[in-house]
Structure 1
Amino acid sequence: VDVKEGLTPMDEDVADLLRKTPKKVLLVANKVDNTQRANDHAEFYSLGLGEIYCISAINGSGTGDLLDELVRDFEVEEEEENIDTDLPKIAVVGRPNVGKSSMINALIGQDRNIVTNISGTTRDSLLTRYNLFGFDFMIVDTAGVRKKGKVFEDVEFYSVMRSIRSIESSDVCILMLDASQGLESQDLNLFSLIQRNNKGVVIVVNKWDLIEKDTNTSKDFEARIRERIAPFDDVPIIFTSVINKQRIFKVLETAKMVYESRTQQISTSRLNEEVLPIVKEENPPPSYKGKHIKIKYVMQLKTAYPQFVFYCNLPQYIREPYRRYVENRMREIYNFHGVPITLYFREK
């Protein structure tokens, strides 16, 4: 009701209807902007709807008490399923309108996430448990991330922040691209963010059905992507059409493979048996100013993603090209495709 206008016949007619309903009714008097109007609400008690909550929508006074009363009778709904925090967490990220929500809807077989042609439809990060066909993990639909200069609304700003937090808390990220637009600078920014947080990554090129193809179209497209993301180019790339449900199951299989590779623990004996011959006999570190570098043994650290320590006599002389060579060989041996790994060289 409007304190400024006072009690009207229309208020009385609506109150007559509301008194007949079995549901709880809150009587709210708006435009109580000052102490003088605070005393003008008493006439509304004649409506017979109980206590009156005086608020001012323009400055927000009184809205806290109203909100407390409003949520008092809300039922706390149980989650559909008990969310197991130990389950793998896979975040689907990308620019707006590349098909992230459509992908998740196609996977779970229901329209859980709203899909429109309007960029920015998804505002929050939506968590869904997927436990079909031998898979069991949490999949997160995130809001599309645009360049900072194109974000003008506060709502979109916080949506982007939640998307970034989803990346930080995930195990594997599915980075979705629009095949008709290719790999753009914002995609590279997201890829860099995933890399800095040491998350597993799978690149999914969606809307592949819109591209005119010849014999080498996919190979050329993949080569251009790997060239742009170098030197971190050991990443699975899958071409899909969500609307045709083409290769979407392969996306799950690849994400699961990346997660298993990211969480594998390799015993010290196995590492020294398989990696040590490479760095000691096959291709040892190049000498520096006549000083020979001897690597004695290697072990894996117990961390969230694969990190390895190589103990040697002169770690300060290990150069970046050799470090990258060892990393690439380990990727080949242990199938670390799409998985970040870190190598440390320490003195022993």
Structure 2
Amino acid sequence: MSRPIVAIIGRPNVGKSTLVNRLTQTQDAIVHDQPGMTRDRTYRSAYWQDREFTVVDTGGLVFDDDTEFLPLIREQALMALAEATAAILVVDGQTGPTGGDEAIASWLRQQKVPILLAVNKCESPTQGLTQAAQFWELGLGNPFPISSIHGSGTGELLDALIENLPASTDNEDSEELRVAIVGRPNVGKSSLLNTFLGQERAIVSPISGTTRDAIDTIVEHNGNTYRLVDTAGIRRKKHVEYGAEFFGINRAFKAIRRADVVLFVIDAVEGVTDQDQKLAGRISDDGRACVIVVNKWDAVEKDSYTILEYEKVMRSRLYFLDWADMIFVSAMTGQRVEKIFKLVDKAAEENRRRVSTSVINEVIEEAVRWHSPPTSRQGRQGKIYYGTQVTSSPPTIVLFVNDPKRFGDNYRRYMESQFRQQLGFAGTPIRLLWRGKAMREVERNSANRATKV
């Protein structure tokens, strides 16, 4: 990344993610009273005065405990500090200095990056200086009393921070392609992200629900820039309790909505489940371009016909995404992972593509010639006057007809298949909007009134 990186370090539950939200002016980082909400390192963009930088939120550091995910969280925090231009140690002003703070401070004093000390939870202006003064003993210089919730003191902290940051050299001309990696728990989303990057960017564990936040990572490939977003595994709603998993799934749904392309990861061993079908329907309803990634292909016993049989079965179950490309990969061995980028580029291009009105009407004319619109029992036949594409992402085509009610589901599906056969649109959903004569009259009258004015 060309922007300088600022790592946020500290014990669990001192308010690191709340500070990240304050510095980045977002609510993207999950904040909850439960300690250990953040596990992976997550990147967010921020700026202060004339400086732009990237804030890295990390999990709570505990040096004397190797239970559950704590060693992996330490590894992620160490990697964040290794690439950082500066770091902010966050401590709890209401609790005062603890043994954990002293252990982290002792470790930070051995690092080569500048360290700023932020004493959080100093909501009272009169007591804030007294609370902060306790932390001089950590030997990290001036402690800044702040309140991440209310924002007090963060201006002074940022003024001191940017003195340690070089000017930004971001290339604003390079457009990012946003790619969300989604799927059920334990299908290999984080492993796929790590394989893309060639490093342990996200914590990988056989324990379901390891990833909680949406993890943004910038990747350069063949001259293109991708923002890969690893998301929490999405389970059935009835199995999700309010807390870490609830917040993580909401972030995953948000990542789908803001993505240009969704990598929908399926477990090749387990096959397509009911939950996979629901996710497929959501991706289609949100109008996102999609590539179906069948992971763990190395674990499947196969012959020369296996891949064809698998794809046939999976497509029959994922009929919501019958327009999406499918690729069989192994995140563990790296098999075919490199080819995913090509499919992502193709899906994004089709999702953004526009087709002229004349070409659309040629398709309509030929489709009607081969299969006339249905006729009612009273002898009234449906008529398509013309069509035009009104928007992209996803491609949306309005068809002006005499009466939308005369066009049943079968004929509507036929028209969509004709547009796909003639125009492509592989990798993206398309929307067909059917508007009747009454709607045309309203639009014509509105245009006439606007012209008179």
Same fold (TM over 0.5): yes
Closer, same or farther: CA 168–52 of 1 in aligned 2, 3 Å:
closer
Q: Is the 8 A contact 2:354 2:392 kept in 1?
A: no
Question: CA offset at residue 65 of structure 1?
Answer: 7.6
SS at structure 2 position matched to 1:114: coil
Supply the AA of the counterpart residue of 2:236. K
Correspondence for 2:87: none
Cα distance in 2 between the residues matched to 1:132 and 1:313: 49
Question: CA offset at residue 301 of structure 1?
Answer: 0.7
Cα distance in 2 between the residues matched to 1:178 and 1:79: 41
Correspondence for 1:282: 370
**Structure 2 counterpart of 1:329, from 397, 400, 418:** 418
Paired residue total: 326
SS at structure 1 position matched to 2:233: coil
Q: Is the 8 A contact 2:185 2:233 kept in 1?
A: yes
Question: CA offset at residue 154 of structure 1?
Answer: 1.4
Closer, same or farther: CA 155–99 of 1 in aligned 2, 3 Å:
same
**Structure 1 counterpart of 2:228, from 121, 139, 156:** 139
Q: Is the 8 A contact 2:288 2:393 kept in 1?
A: no
SS at structure 1 position matched to 2:222: coil
Correspondence for 2:326: 237
Correspondence for 1:94: 183
1:126 aligns with 2:215: yes
Cα distance in 1 between the residues matched to 2:118 and 2:173: 42
Question: CA offset at residue 192 of structure 1?
Answer: 1.7
Cα distance in 1 between the residues matched to 2:242 and 2:203: 20
* Unaligned stretches of 5+ residues in structure 1: 1-9, 29-40, 55-59
Summarize the alignment of residues 94-113 of structure 1 with structure 2, pairs less than 5 Å apart. 94-113=183-202
Q: Which range moves more in the overlay, 156-165 or 132-141? A: 132-141
Q: Which range moves more in the overlay, 327-336 or 308-317? A: 308-317
Summarize the alignment of residues 182-331 of structure 1 with structure 2, pairs less than 5 Å apart. 182-230=271-319, 232-279=321-368, 281-289=369-377, 290-331=379-420
SS at structure 2 position matched to 1:88: strand
Cα distance in 1 between the residues matched to 2:169 and 2:199: 15
- In terms of Rg, which structure is larger? 1
Supply the AA of the counterpart residue of 2:209. G
Q: Is the 8 A contact 1:276 1:298 kept in 2?
A: no
1:114 aligns with 2:203: yes
Cα distance in 1 between the residues matched to 2:348 and 2:115: 50
Supply the AA of the counterpart residue of 2:373. P
Summarize the alignment of residues 79-90 of structure 1 with structure 2, pairs less than 5 Å apart. 81=170, 86-90=175-179
SS at structure 1 position matched to 2:229: strand
Question: CA offset at residue 51 of structure 1?
Answer: 11
Correspondence for 1:345: 434
**Structure 2 counterpart of 1:160, from 231, 238, 249:** 249
Supply the AA of the counterpart residue of 1:282. W
CA RMSD, Structure 1 to Structure 2 (Å): 4.4
Cα distance in 1 between the residues matched to 2:380 and 2:398: 21
**What is the identity percentage for the equivalent residue pairs of Structure 1 and Structure 2?**
35
Closer, same or farther: CA 187–346 of 1 in aligned 2, 3 Å:
same
Cα shift readout 1:193-235 (whole Å, capped 9, x = no counterpart)? 2112111111111000001113332222222222222254232
Question: CA offset at residue 271 of structure 1?
Answer: 1.5
Cα distance in 1 between the residues matched to 2:196 and 2:431: 33
Question: CA offset at residue 306 of structure 1?
Answer: 0.9
* Unaligned stretches of 5+ residues in structure 2: 1-98, 120-130, 438-453
Larger relative strand fraction: 2
Closer, same or farther: CA 161–79 of 1 in aligned 2, 3 Å:
farther
Supply the AA of the counterpart residue of 1:109. G
